Amino acid sequence: MDQLVQPNLIMLILFAIFVNNYVLSQFLGICPFLGVSKKLETAVGMGVAVIFVITLSSAVTYFVYHLLLVNLHIEYLYNIAFILVIAALVQLVEMFLKKSSPSLYQALGVYLPLITTNCAVLGVAVVNMQNNYTFIASVLNGFGGATGFALSIILFAGIRERMAFNNIPKPFQGFPIALVSATLMSLAFLGFQGLIQL
Amino acid sequence: MDITSILYPVLCVGGLGVVLGAGLGYAGKIFEVKEDPRLEQVLECLPGANCGGCGYPGCSGMASAIVSGKAPVNGCPVGGAKSAAAIAKVMGVAVEETAPKVAFVKCHGTCDKSVNKYVYEGISDCAMANQLAGGGAKGCSFGCLGLGSCVKACAFDAIHIVDGVAKVDETKCTSCGNCVKACPKHLIEIVPQAQQTRVACSSQDTGKEVMANCQVGCIACRICEKNCKFDAIYVINNVAVIDYTKCKDCGLCAMKCPKHAIENPKAIAMAEKLAQNAAAKVEAAKKPAPVAEAPATEAPATEAPASSTSSEHIND
């Protein structure tokens, strides 16, 4: 087995938030990014729920991969195994929150089950695996990536809220203008490229 | 081939699934949250069509809104008075009466009464046809294309294409509003079922253009506006529009409309009868009587009982 890698942890988090932003540089998790960014309030809910789930799933998928798949030499099954684990994990988290913290459950609402289909969750798990990160690096990479997602969706929701009051030409109303502004945000984040070398 | 290369993946993924499934099942028991028992009872009273006509995401969303007091017990347009009464019983509140509503297609330009610009042989979908030059094959660019997008949208089999124009079956219609959203011409409107006087045209073309394209289109002549005693009908953007809060359903406008673009079964039947009587009189007298005057003077008197009953209903 390859040697596990543990880069500078602070750099890793910053790298995941800005340089390797899952939405704006990797183009993962675009559906919630476009779907739940109409209001700042819902975007914050989605962002928090994603941070929660991705951090947790990075930890769990680390163990599933290194203890189960690697030991049995069936690494090629990682996609199926990760999807299974993430889906079950989201369900478990939902149940747990419903019981222990109804207010948080209410606040996250429908976004919690929606995360199951967020490809950024799987993306983070796969990146952790491919880069051979240690457990701590995996969790922090997950946390950083999810924070990056939350950051971009919240910024985007702020832009869309202001955009709603603007006089947008008819062919651009709705999703077209949202996609144009997402592109511009992505270009802006391109400026972070090369800022940090891991 | 080593059998383990098949066995391990199958056992591993299968085992993972079983373990996670069992874990979730167990967790479901541990983290079980007692829900308001009324939620399920209310959900049972709702029609379960998940049409979204109430404005909530599906029937379960509506049920939780009712239980938490955010939505009125009669908020379901599909279930109507029946489900409202059942829900009111569960919730222990009195139900407010709501007037039943139905969808109405504001176009009566059937195949024989309207002209077509060309023959449309594309996909049988109104939105598709509407994107073509001139907004579909129909001569009138505001008229019903008759390709049945509303029929597909209806979950209750309550709207059908008859003679090339969509027609609502009012006994089945639940006023959920799905057809309203489906119509690319914005022809369908939710109207009070009790009020039978409705403008069956939504053409904003000028009178001349309407005349060229359709025999039953509103030509914005304003005769209805001048004749209405209740200030309830106005010509806006070249088409007559009824204010249902003011309309007393007397049917005078329907009788006066030279193009028969205003629908009112009672008034139209009455007008036909009067015209027949007048024609018979003419036949008997063998002289040109002022036919047009005869129905006009009698109309308000004959319609009086009908208008009084409908105004009673409005006062409720």
Which of A73, A81, A102 minimises the CB distance to B16? A81
pLDDT digits (tens, 9 = 90+) for A67-79: 988 888 888 889 8
- Using CA coordinates, name the residue in chain A closest to B8: A72
Tell me, what's the ipTM? 0.73
Nearest in space to A140 (alpha carbons), one of A51, A30, A66:
A51
Q: Is A175 on the interface with B (CB under 8 A)?
A: no
CA distance B172 to B149: 18
- Choose from A69, A74, A101 for mutation: most chain B CBs within 10 A: A74
Residue A140 tokens, joined: 């922090």
pTM for the full model?
Answer: 0.51
The per-residue pLDDT string of chain A (198 residues; one tens digit each, 9 = 90 and over) reads 567 888 888 999 999 999 989 999 888 888 888 888 888 887 888 888 889 889 999 999 999 999 988 888 888 889 889 999 888 888 888 888 788 777 777 766 677 777 777 788 999 999 999 999 999 999 999 999 999 999 999 999 999 988 888 888 989 988 899 999 999 999 999 999 888 877
Q: What is the pLDDT of residue B252?
A: 86
CA distance B124 to B122: 6
pLDDT digits (tens, 9 = 90+) for A16-46: 999 989 999 888 888 888 888 888 887 888 8
Q: What is the mean pLDDT of each run of 10 residues along chain B (316 residues)?
A: 84 90 89 80 83 78 84 79 83 73 90 88 85 84 90 89 91 87 90 88 89 90 89 90 88 87 79 79 68 48 44 43
- Interface size between A and B, measured as CB pairs under 8 A: 45
- Sole residue written with tokens 């809060």: B245
Q: Which residues of A touch B9 (CB under 8 A)?
A: 74, 77
Q: What is the pLDDT of residue B168?
A: 92
CA distance B87 to B84: 5
Q: Is A67 on the interface with B (CB under 8 A)?
A: no
Residues A64, B33: C-beta atoms closer than 8 Å? no
- Using CA coordinates, name the residue in chain A closest to B11: A72
- Using CA coordinates, name the residue in chain B closest to A94: B31
Q: Which residues of B touch A96 (CB under 8 A)?
A: 27, 31
Which of B16, B20, B28 minimises the CB distance to A95? B28
Q: What is the pLDDT of residue B288?
A: 55
* Closest Cα in chain B, distance from residue A88 (Å): 6
Residues 6+ apart with CB under 8 A from B106: B187, B188, B189, B198, B199, B200, B201, B202
Residues B27, A80: C-beta atoms closer than 8 Å? no
Q: Which residues of A touch B12 (CB under 8 A)?
A: 68-69, 72, 74, 77, 81
CA distance A120 to A43: 16
Q: Could you please report the per-residue DSSP string of A60-108?
A: HHHHIIIIIITTTT-GGGHHHHHHHHHHHHHHHHHHHHHHH-HHHHHHH
| Vertex B39 angle, CA B36 and B40, to 5° | 110
Residue B221 tokens, joined: 């002549």
Residue B258 tokens, joined: 């030279």
Q: Which residues of B touch A (CB under 8 A)?
A: 8-9, 12-13, 16-17, 20-21, 23-24, 27-28, 30-33
Residues A84, B28: C-beta atoms closer than 8 Å? no
